[in-house]
Amino acid sequence: MKSFQSGHSRVMCPNIDCGIDLALDALSCPKCDEPLPIGLRDDLLEIDVAHSGETWTEALDKLEAAISFARAQRFKGLRVIHGSGRSRDDDAWEGPGRIRRESLNYLRQAAVDIDARLMPEKHNRGAHLLLF
């Protein structure tokens, strides 16, 4: 599974003799005509918004960027690791509890907006899948 890094949302031509940067929604390379491996996108993009010291607002920014990247790149969906929210107490106003809560609110709204499905990952309280 490919994982999303903020600031690295770019695509390179898969032709190793070319390797130029491509637009996120490119279907083929404008320089060498190499078709982009859209078939590979039968996969989920993974993003972790909870384990790099993010604040909850940073977590939402990452989610927003990852959703648009995953859609532009025609991934099947997004695997969002938002953490279990249980470091101190579940109802903490800030911290992991809030990242989890705000992320889920954001994902529920995004699912409605882009007509995607949001489902909890099996046996994992710390992640949800957003399927396009």
Q: Does 18 bind Zn ion (CB under 5 A)?
A: yes
Closest distance between Zn ion and the C-beta of residue 24, in Å? 15
Q: How far apart are CA 46 and CA 44, in angstroms?
A: 6
Point out which span in 21-29, 35-43, 71-79, 110-118 binds Zn ion (CB under 5 A). 21-29
Which listed residue (4, 34, 66, 75) binds Zn ion by CB under 5 A?
Answer: 34
- Does position 32 interact with Zn ion (CB under 5 A)? The reply is yes
Q: Does residue 31 interact with Zn ion by CB under 5 A?
A: yes
Q: Minimal distance in Å, beta carbon 40 to Zn ion?
A: 16
**Burial (CB count within 10 angstroms: exposed 0-12, middle 13-18, buried 19+), residue 79:** buried
If binding is defined by CB under 5 A, does position 10 make contact with Zn ion? no
- Closest to 9 measured CA to CA, from 47, 58, 49: 47
Number of Cβ atoms within 10 Å of the Cβ of 109: 11
Closest by alpha carbon to 78, among 66, 93, 89?
66
CA 108 to chain centre: 14
Closest CB to Zn ion among residues 29, 50: 29
Binding site for Zn ion (CB under 5 A): 13, 15, 18, 29, 31-32, 34
